[in-house]
């Protein structure tokens, strides 16, 4: 329910195999073939995205690319092109914002839309969802799966349930029946550790979770137990956050006394990298590009950047890159008045799993 007491109409729009789909659209010769976007299968690269033709062989994201090659030797491996994906994302989100100003960016290819107060032109949320799917297909040559529900939780689960290229509507009176048979891991906030803890309590499905009293969940999970209790009942009061998509995240310091020694600068960069990495993790984002900013006592300012093949949230990796970039400046030979570290070209946080296999 919204603040006015009205039942909300929330859409969750999730592009299908987004990275691979963009490449296939732009190169029609790839149509119908197994396409894998990610690192080099001859090294320690990993899979970032795979189309459904490739998934039929058991290929999935975060899998070592070498294993994907063994599963499907005929697969076509492509390097990620994040600037291209971002440009396309901007065009897709422009379509969403033509239909409602209340759009929350979850990632490059995923958004929540609140259409509760914006149904004049279409009458129903279902009609808006159909219009979105039509326009994305006709104007961008891509497909999007859309879930419709009374809140973000239900809309997200509904879009997952109808992929690929589907539409799933869950009206308020059908929420519990929709959720009950699902495994608990389908609920937002239930990761592997929580799933294992619930399994130890004999809870595998949402219906089984729903049967447990709040007191039992609070005793085991503390404050998170209340969230589990509510989500099992389809209760989710989170609003659609309409702030603009974050393009970068960073921190910088201006020093009262100029830094003269590279070792002292390294210590500052490591601390800033920790702050940036923590900020990315909390926002469920990962960064492709790390930039170091250096300002000398005469106020001359320079920046140096590095773009990773695989996005990261890892503070040590960010710090190591920052220190390498610092050595591409005159820092150490010249004193430094200001240092900064920023992360940009941000992508979904799930991509950070891939860095485990990246050569860096």
What pLDDT digit, counting tens, does each position of 124-153 carry? 999 999 999 999 999 999 999 999 999 999
Residue 315's domain comprises: 248-354
Burial 211-242 (b: 16+ CB within 10 A, else e): ebeeeebeebbeeebebbbbbbebebeeebee
Whole-model pTM: value is: 0.70
| 252 and 350, same domain (yes or no) | yes
CA of residue 46 relative to chain centroid, distance: 17
Cβ neighbours for 37, distance < 8 A, ≥ 6 positions apart: 19, 20, 23, 47, 48, 49, 50, 77, 78, 79, 80
Residues 212 and 253 in one domain: no
Residue 291 has pLDDT above 60, yes or no: yes
Q: Is 283 among the domain residues?
A: yes
In a domain, 10, yes or no: no
**What is the per-residue pLDDT for 351?**
53
Higher pLDDT, 275 or 211: 211
Give the Cβ contact number of residue 336 at 10 Å. Answer: 23
State the pairing for strand pair 47-50/76-78: unpaired
Q: What is the pLDDT of residue 273?
A: 92
The answer to whether residue 223 scores a pLDDT higher than 60 is yes
pLDDT of amino acid 357: 39
Whether 175 is covered by a domain: the verdict is no
Q: Please say whether the beta carbons of 156 and 168 come within 8 A.
A: no
Out of 52, 81, 110, a domain closes at: 81
Same domain membership, residue 299 and residue 226: no
34 assigned to some structural domain:
yes
Domain membership of residue 276 (yes or no) is yes
Q: Are residues 214 and 262 in the same domain?
A: no
Q: Are residues 224 and 255 in the same domain?
A: no
Q: How far apart are CA 283 and CA 272, in angstroms?
A: 17
| Contact predicate 253/340, CB 8 Å | yes
Confidence at residue 192, expressed as pLDDT on a 0 to 100 scale: 83
Q: Measure the CA–CA gap between 44 and 62, rounded to whole angstroms.
A: 11
* Mean pLDDT for all residues in the chain: 90
Encode pLDDT of 236-284 as tens digits. Answer: 999 998 865 566 789 888 887 889 999 989 989 998 998 898 888 878 8
Nearest-angstrom CA–CA distance, 119 and 343: 38
- Identify any residues that bridge with 78 across adjacent strands, giving them in sequence order: 37
Please check whether residue 326 lies inside any domain of the structure. yes
For residue 187, what is the domain's CATH number?
1.10.150.20
Give the strand order in the sheet containing 144-149.
Answer: 103-107, 110-114, 10-15, 144-149, 167-169
**The domain boundary residue, chosen from 81, 102, 134:** 81
Residues 224 and 259 in one domain: no
For residue 40, what is the domain's CATH number?
Answer: 3.40.1170.60
Q: What is the mean pLDDT of residues 1-12?
A: 76
272, 330: one domain: yes
Residue 28 forms part of a structural domain: yes
How much is the average pLDDT of 55-76? 93
Determine the average pLDDT of the residues in 89-95: 95
Q: Cβ(117)–Cβ(127) under 8 Å?
A: no
Q: Are residues 317 and 285 in the same domain?
A: yes
* 206 and 252, same domain (yes or no): no
Asked if 213 and 283 sit in the same domain, the reply is no
pLDDT for residue 34 is more than 70: yes
Q: Range with the lowest mean pLDDT among 166-170, 198-202, 216-220, 355-359?
A: 355-359
Shared domain for 340 and 252, answered yes or no, is yes
**129 in a domain, yes or no?**
no
Q: Per-residue confidence at 349, pLDDT binned at 50, 70, 90?
A: low
Instruction: Please say whether the beta carbons of 87 and 93 come within 8 A.
Output: no
Query: Of 184-198, 214-228, 236-250, which range is least confident?
Result: 236-250
Number of domains into which the chain is organized: 3
Say whether pLDDT at 352 is over 70.
no
Catalytic residue numbers?
A: 110
* The last residue of a domain, from among 81, 116, 151: 81
Task: Give the 3-state DSSP-derived string for the chain, with helices as H, strands as E and coil as C.
Answer: CCCCCCCCCEEEEEECCHHHHHHHHHCHHHCCCCEEEECCCCCCCEEEEECHHHHCCCCCCCCEHHHHHHHCCCCEEECCCHHHHHHHHHHHHHHHHHHCCCEEEEECCEEEEECCCCCCCCCCHHHHHHHHHHHHHHHHCCCEEEEEECCHHHHHHHHHHCCCCCEEECCHHHHHHHHCCCEHHHCCCCCHHHHHHHHHCCCCEHHHHHCCCHHHHHHHHCHHHHHHHHHCCCCCCCCCCCCCCCCEEEEEEEEEEEECCHHHHHHHHHHHHHHHHHHHHHCCEEEEEEEEEEECCCCCEEEEEEEEEEEECCHHHHHHHHHHHHCCCCECCECEEEEEEEEEEEEEHHHHHHHHHCCC
> If we measure between CA atoms, which residue out of 304, 314, 301, 305 comes closest to residue 351?
314
CB 261 within 8 A of CB 333: no
Is the confidence at residue 235, as pLDDT, over 50? yes
Domain CATH code at residue 310: 3.30.1490.100
Q: What is the mean pLDDT of residues 155-168?
A: 97
Same domain for 282 and 325: yes
């Amino acid at each position: 329910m919204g603040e006015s007491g009205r039942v909300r109409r929330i859409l969750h729009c999730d592009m299908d195999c987004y990275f691979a789909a963009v490449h296939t659209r732009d190169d029609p010769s790839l149509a119908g073939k197994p396409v894998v976007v990610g690192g080099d299968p001859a090294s320690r690269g990993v899979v970032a995205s795979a189309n459904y033709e490739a998934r039929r062989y058991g290929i999935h994201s975060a899998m070592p690319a070498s294993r994907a090659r063994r599963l499907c030797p005929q697969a076509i491996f492509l390097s990620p092109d994040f600037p291209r994906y971002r440009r396309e994302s901007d065009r897709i989100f422009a379509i969403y914002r033509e239909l409602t100003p209340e759009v929350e960016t979850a990632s490059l290819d995923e958004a929540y839309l609140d259409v509760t107060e914006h149904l004049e032109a279409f009458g129903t949320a279902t009609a808006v969802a159909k219009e979105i799917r039509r326009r994305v297909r006709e104007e961008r040559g891509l497909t999007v799966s859309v879930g419709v529900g009374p809140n973000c939780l239900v809309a997200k689960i509904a879009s997952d349930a109808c992929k690929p290229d589907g539409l799933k509507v869950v009206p308020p009176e059908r929420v519990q029946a929709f959720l009950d048979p699902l495994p608990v891991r389908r609920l937002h906030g239930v990761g592997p550790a929580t799933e294992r803890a619930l399994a130890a309590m004999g809870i595998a499905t949402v219906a089984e979770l729903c049967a447990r009293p709040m007191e039992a969940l609070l005793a085991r999970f503390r404050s998170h137990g209340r969230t589990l209790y509510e989500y099992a009942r389809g209760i989710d009061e989170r609003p659609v956050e309409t702030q603009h998509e974050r393009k970068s995240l960073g921190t910088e310091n201006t020093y009262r006394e100029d830094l003269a020694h590279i070792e002292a600068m390294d210590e500052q960069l490591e601390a800033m990298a920790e702050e940036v990495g923590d900020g990315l993790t909390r926002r469920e984002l990962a960064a492709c590009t790390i930039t170091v900013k250096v300002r000398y006592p005469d106020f001359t300012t320079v920046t140096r950047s590095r773009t990773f093949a695989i996005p990261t949230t890892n503070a040590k990796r960010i710090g190591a890159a920052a220190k390498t970039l610092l050595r591409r400046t005159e820092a150490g030979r010249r004193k430094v008045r200001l240092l900064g570290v920023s992360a940009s070209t941000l992508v979904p946080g799930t991509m950070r799993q891939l860095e485990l296999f990246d050569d860096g």
